[in-house]
């Protein structure tokens, strides 16, 4: 600072009037006594500056004080993951590595719809809804709903802050490509009346705006106005019907809904039409096929479900004998009664001719449409290759091709194609998708979607420690969702393991390896049990090993092992223990310890999957909801399993029910993970193990133990202790 002395003041130059700032310093107000250094990322080249200029690529908002550093737009968000559920997409990401020096970072979602043939993309338009919103997102997640079915979308997640709009440079975003799945058709919106007589009303309507697939049939529900409790349902493959047998001069209400492979869409709004009072000759519509009449009468609910058919206007009878064989095939599908809207898995074994099953569930592809590129793996029946499939009118896309080696036996061919017959029945984003089969030429092939990252166990081992917990949970969520679908279809996998999960370039996991009896035979992990079966011991529930009780609940046990494999980046369950030692340890109540750095909530879920009592294990839909909750609330994943309670080279004793004497009620409840009830027990007089031994289910309810799972845990533990007491094992 220099002191400037005006002329004529030479004699008494004592008053400091003002200072002039040097370059690199500034003074916002001339009245300020001193200069300030330019804040970070700003400078001045001149003297006496009142503010500093921002360096290149740095900016200042009008509202930013001059003492604040210049800032820049944030870098792109990181590690975006997606979860697709029918026509909804959930996106989650990690904040940008560089916030640009500002605290006001928010996110913007750009949505593009891409044509799968041309690859061209366009803005999504107004039909997409964003929850909670599209712009100004403060949290690192968003949900898009009302997307179109079977459509490719690209979402760009851009991080913005207070100076992003001043940046002429490129936008910083991370993009995620997803393909939506099937969805039920949208409601029929326009219904027109046709010919009306005194006993009949003819209707016609238009296909829903968004059929989301091929419409298999329409369901028309109608009833006399104000008599809703007694209604009739007609099914029709055409977009018109005639309802007959109606009362003259009466108003009738009609509602229509469409069905595709994805199930029924919503009913249309109500349309009201009136029969004519005058006598007009009735007409019959040949296209109508009424097949179900449901009648619900007031007071007594009389549910008369008549499964049968009416051939072109002829009402069907009640008995199977009256059915036309053609129609019987449609509804008594190969001996399985197929109820509309309920999809169940059909075991290809139930087909006398396995070729019929393959052709029912898998499309035949011409070998000339397939280009094989390289060998990527070895299956039991031959090589697995990657390649490309070019179907007529579609863009070429990558596929995996499983081949059947030459010199196969008829049984090998049947078993090989059995996998396609099973896979072809599934349509879910977390189940490997079958493109089709080649059976008319050799080699016989199964063509599926291509999963760039191969099998999950190998992929995780290769990328040890590389993913965020949210990414790992996203993988687990996908697997659980696929398994929920399979269990809903009534399919039990029996060989769920990370080696049988495939993962694509978007880190979407899909369940694969479907087979008939061979499932377990081609798995190198499967070992012969004393009962002669071949079972992958480390992944299999005790009841399935002991007496071959394979159910969705035993798949849940295996899912718990897959969770453990994922959280430990592909470590081998039970390490180098022998199969016999594994069986023994599990029977004795020992369980795998928590993987390193594993969130406590996830390890608890694993332990729940490994409950000895299969009915106490969670169901796949509960697992999906629990993982969704954890993904939505990532802070719930911050509590890790306590390092000191993690036993790295030993198995942990799981719910050591009855395995020793408990010194106190608290110790017992803690041991069975019901410690939260200790206080209630003590306060209500159950302060000794003797007193506890008398507890009944009624008492538990009275104490406020209302969760059935907890009631079961406590009662089972008591039961077990009592049994052991009788045997003189537990001195209470």
Annotation: binding site for ATP: 402
If the CB atoms of residues 296 and 384 are measured against ligand AMP, the closer one turns out to be 384
What are the phi and psi torsion angles at 137 (to 5°)?
-70, 130
- Is 495 an active-site residue? yes
Question: Do residues 26 and 51 lie in contact, with contact meaning Cβ atoms separated by under 8 Å?
Answer: yes
Provide the token pair at 36: 């300030």
| Identified binder of ligand AMP from the candidate list 208, 290, 454, 595, rule CB under 6 A | 454
Question: Do residues 386 and 504 lie in contact, with contact meaning Cβ atoms separated by under 8 Å?
Answer: no
Q: Is 513 in the site for ligand AMP (CB under 6 A)?
A: yes
Strand partners, 398: 388
Dist. CA 354–CA 416, nearest whole Å: 11
Stretch of 94-102, 371-379, 543-551, 705-713 lying at the interface with ligand AMP (CB under 6 A): 371-379
Shortest Cβ 568–ligand AMP spacing (Å): 19
Shortest Cβ 383–ligand AMP spacing (Å): 9
Positions 209 through 238 that interact with ligand AMP (CB under 6 A)? none
| Identified binder of ligand AMP from the candidate list 110, 293, 372, 376, rule CB under 6 A | 376
Provide the token pair at 259: 């069905």
Which residue ranges are tagged as binding site?
Answer: 402
DSSP states of 631-696 as a string? HH-GGGG--BPPGGG--SSSPEEPS-TTSS--SSHHHHHHHTT-GGGHHHHHHTT--SHHHHTT--
Dist. CA 232–CA 244, nearest whole Å: 11
Stretch of 85-93, 279-287, 373-381, 621-629 lying at the interface with ligand AMP (CB under 6 A): 373-381
Shortest Cβ 40–ligand AMP spacing (Å): 49
| Identified binder of ligand AMP from the candidate list 94, 280, 294, 384, rule CB under 6 A | 384
Q: What contacts 114, CB < 8 A, 6 or more positions away?
A: 120, 121, 152, 153, 154, 177
Stretch of 2-10, 176-184, 322-330, 447-455 lying at the interface with ligand AMP (CB under 6 A): 447-455
> x/- string (CB under 6 A) for ligand AMP, residues 151-180?
------------------------------
| Identified binder of ligand AMP from the candidate list 243, 369, 437, 502, rule CB under 6 A | 502
Smallest CA-to-CA distance from 430 within 380, 519, 496 is with 496
Count of residues in contact with ligand AMP, rule CB under 6 A: 14
| Identified binder of ligand AMP from the candidate list 211, 379, 533, 666, rule CB under 6 A | 379
Question: Do residues 252 and 317 lie in contact, with contact meaning Cβ atoms separated by under 8 Å?
Answer: no
Residue nearest to ligand AMP (CB): 377
Distances (CA, A) of 395 to 151, 173, 176, 389, 726: 14, 28, 21, 9, 72
If the CB atoms of residues 124 and 561 are measured against ligand AMP, the closer one turns out to be 561
Dist. CA 349–CA 410, nearest whole Å: 15
> x/- string (CB under 6 A) for ligand AMP, residues 401-440?
-------------------------------x--------
If the CB atoms of residues 26 and 416 are measured against ligand AMP, the closer one turns out to be 416
If the CB atoms of residues 333 and 390 are measured against ligand AMP, the closer one turns out to be 390
Angle at 67 between CA 61 and CA 68, to 5 degrees: 50
User: How far is it between the farthest Cα atoms of the chain?
Assistant: 129
The total of other beta-carbon atoms located within 10 Å of residue 402's CB is: 22
If the CB atoms of residues 317 and 377 are measured against ligand AMP, the closer one turns out to be 377
Smallest CA-to-CA distance from 66 within 45, 49, 85, 79 is with 49
Dist. CA 305–CA 318, nearest whole Å: 9
Dist. CA 498–CA 562, nearest whole Å: 6
| Identified binder of ligand AMP from the candidate list 273, 361, 450, 514, rule CB under 6 A | 450
Shortest Cβ 539–ligand AMP spacing (Å): 15
If the CB atoms of residues 91 and 503 are measured against ligand AMP, the closer one turns out to be 503
Shortest Cβ 450–ligand AMP spacing (Å): 5
Question: Do residues 430 and 479 lie in contact, with contact meaning Cβ atoms separated by under 8 Å?
Answer: yes
Peptide bond into 443 cis (omega under 30): yes
Positions 385 through 404 that interact with ligand AMP (CB under 6 A)? 400
Q: Is 457 in the site for ligand AMP (CB under 6 A)?
A: no
Stretch of 255-263, 321-329, 446-454, 675-683 lying at the interface with ligand AMP (CB under 6 A): 446-454
Stretch of 443-451, 563-571, 600-608, 616-624 lying at the interface with ligand AMP (CB under 6 A): 443-451
What are the phi and psi torsion angles at 727 (to 5°)?
-75, 0
Dist. CA 129–CA 145, nearest whole Å: 5
If the CB atoms of residues 92 and 513 are measured against ligand AMP, the closer one turns out to be 513
Smallest CA-to-CA distance from 216 within 339, 340, 305 is with 340
Q: In three state form, how does the secondary structure of 549-567 look?
A: CCCHHHHHHHHHHHHHHHH
If the CB atoms of residues 375 and 691 are measured against ligand AMP, the closer one turns out to be 375
CA dihedral for 674, 679, 681, 687, sign (positive or negative): positive
Positions 606 through 665 that interact with ligand AMP (CB under 6 A)? none
If the CB atoms of residues 389 and 469 are measured against ligand AMP, the closer one turns out to be 389
Shortest Cβ 503–ligand AMP spacing (Å): 9
Which residue among 285, 457, 495, 555 is the active-site one?
495
| Identified binder of ligand AMP from the candidate list 141, 323, 448, 594, rule CB under 6 A | 448
If the CB atoms of residues 219 and 435 are measured against ligand AMP, the closer one turns out to be 435
Q: Is 455 in the site for ligand AMP (CB under 6 A)?
A: yes
Dist. CA 628–CA 630, nearest whole Å: 5
Question: Do residues 43 and 56 lie in contact, with contact meaning Cβ atoms separated by under 8 Å?
Answer: no
Stretch of 71-79, 139-147, 304-312, 445-453 lying at the interface with ligand AMP (CB under 6 A): 445-453
| Residues of this chain that bind ligand AMP (CB under 6 A) | 376-377, 379, 384, 400, 432, 448, 450-451, 454-455, 502, 512-513
Active site residues: 495
């Amino acid at each position: 600072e220099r002191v400037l002395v005006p002329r004529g003041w030479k004699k008494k130059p004592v008053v400091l009037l003002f200072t002039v700032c040097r370059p690199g310093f500034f003074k916002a107000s001339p009245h300020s006594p001193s200069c300030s250094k330019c804040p970070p990322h700003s400078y001045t080249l001149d003297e006496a500056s009142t503010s500093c200029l921002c360096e290149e690529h740095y900016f200042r908002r009008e509202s930013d004080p001059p003492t604040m550093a210049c800032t820049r737009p944030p870098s792109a968000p990181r590690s975006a993951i997606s979860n697709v559920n029918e026509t909804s997409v959930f996106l989650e990401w990690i904040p940008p590595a560089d916030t640009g020096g500002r605290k006001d970072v928010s996110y913007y979602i750009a949505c593009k719809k891409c044509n799968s043939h041309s690859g061209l993309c366009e803005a999504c338009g107004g039909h997409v809804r964003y929850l909670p919103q599209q712009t100004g997102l403060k949290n690192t997640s968003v949900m898009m709903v009302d997307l179109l079915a079977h459509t490719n979308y690209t979402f760009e997640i851009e991080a913005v802050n207070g100076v992003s709009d001043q940046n002429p440079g490129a936008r910083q975003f991370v993009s995620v490509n997803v393909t939506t799945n099937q969805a039920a058709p949208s409601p029929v919106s326009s219904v027109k009346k046709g010919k009306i007589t005194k006993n009949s009303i003819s209707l016609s309507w238009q296909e829903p705006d968004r059929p989301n697939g091929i419409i298999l049939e329409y369901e028309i529900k109608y009833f006399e106005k104000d008599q809703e409790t007694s209604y009739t349902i007609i099914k029709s493959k055409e977009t018109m019907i005639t309802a007959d047998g109606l009362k003259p001069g009466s108003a009738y209400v009609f509602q229509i809904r469409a069905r595709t492979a994805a199930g029924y869409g919503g009913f249309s709004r109500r349309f009201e039409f009136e029969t004519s009072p005058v006598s007009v000759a009735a007409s019959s519509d040949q296209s109508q096929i009424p097949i179900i009449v449901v009648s619900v009468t007031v007071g007594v609910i009389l549910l008369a479900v008549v499964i049968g058919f009416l051939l072109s206007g002829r009402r069907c009878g009640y008995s199977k004998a009256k059915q036309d064989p053609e129609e019987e095939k449609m509804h008594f599908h190969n001996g399985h009664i197929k109820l509309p809207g309920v999809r169940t898995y059909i075991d290809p074994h139930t087909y006398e001719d396995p070729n019929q099953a393959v052709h029912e569930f898998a499309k035949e592809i011409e070998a000339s449409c397939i280009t094989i590129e390289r060998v990527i793996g070895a299956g039991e029946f031959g090589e697995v290759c990657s390649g490309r499939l070019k179907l007529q009118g579609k863009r070429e896309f990558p596929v995996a091709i499983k081949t059947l080696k030459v010199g196969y036996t008829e049984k090998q061919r049947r078993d090989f194609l059995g996998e396609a017959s099973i896979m072809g029945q599934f349509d879910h984003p977390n189940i490997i998708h079958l493109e089709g089969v080649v059976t008319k030429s050799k080699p016989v092939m199964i063509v599926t979607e291509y999963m760039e990252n191969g099998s999950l166990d190998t992929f995780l081992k290769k990328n040890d420690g590389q993913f965020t917990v949210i990414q790992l949970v996203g993988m687990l969520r996908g697997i659980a969702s696929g398994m929920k679908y399979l269990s809903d279809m009534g399919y039990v996998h029996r060989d769920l393991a990370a080696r049988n999960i495939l993962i694509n370039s978007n880190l979407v996991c899909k369940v694969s390896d479907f087979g008939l009896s061979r499932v377990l035979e081609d798995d190198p992990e499967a070992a012969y049990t004393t009962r002669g079966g071949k079972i992958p011991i480390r992944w299999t529930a005790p009841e399935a090993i002991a007496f071959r009780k394979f159910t969705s609940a035993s798949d849940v046990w295996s899912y718990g092992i897959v969770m453990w494999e994922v959280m430990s980046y592909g470590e081998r369950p039970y390490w180098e223990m022998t199969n016999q030692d594994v069986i023994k340890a599990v029977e004795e109540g020992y369980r795998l310890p928590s993987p390193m750095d594993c969130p406590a909530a996830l390890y608890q879920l694993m332990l729940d999957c490994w409950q000895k009592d299969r009915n106490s294990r969670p169901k796949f839909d509960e697992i999906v909801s629990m993982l969704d909750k954890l993904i939505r609330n990532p802070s719930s994943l911050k509590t890790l399993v306590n390092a000191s309670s993690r036993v790295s080279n030993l198995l942990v004793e799981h719910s050591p029910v009855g395995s020793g004497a408990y010194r106190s009620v608290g110790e017992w409840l803690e041991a069975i993970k019901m410690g939260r009830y200790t206080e209630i027990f003590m306060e209500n007089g159950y302060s000794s193990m003797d007193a506890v031994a008398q507890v009944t289910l009624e008492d538990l309810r009275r104490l406020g133990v209302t969760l059935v799972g907890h009631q079961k845990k406590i009662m089972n533990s008591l039961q077990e202790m009592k049994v052991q007491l009788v045997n003189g094992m537990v001195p209470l």
